[in-house]
Amino acid sequence: MKEFENKHQTLIIRKDRRLLKHAIRAISRWFLCLGCKLCELVCPTNAIKVVKNSKGYRPSIDSSKCIGCLLCNNLCPVGTFYAKAIMDEQK
């Protein structure tokens, strides 16, 4: 029973860390987008457009086209950098 609980807890922690990583990526790319447009290039459904406003660049997603593949989140250099930096800090 104890072994089962430990395995279950490990799975939950792994899942939480994955969710946390995606959340950090999404938040950092929204606020710190560099406008490189890599996310536009990799999106398989053309759901994402990078727009520039008075606050800088912002990735804008058309939810009716987005299939949730997370390619944009996984490949964004800003999101990747901050997620790694913050997750490494937690180790």
Task: Give the residue among 24, 34, 31 at the shortest CA–CA distance from 86.
Answer: 24
Radius of gyration of the chain (CA): 16
Residue 47: CB atoms within 10 Å = 19
Residue 70 engages ligand SF4 in binding (rule: CB under 6 A):
yes
Q: Which is nearer to ligand SF4, 5 or 68 (CB)?
A: 68
Residue from 23, 27, 36, 87 in contact with ligand SF4 (CB under 6 A): 36
**Site residues, ligand SF4 (CB under 6 A):** 29, 33-39, 42-45, 47-48, 50, 57, 59, 61, 66-72, 76-78
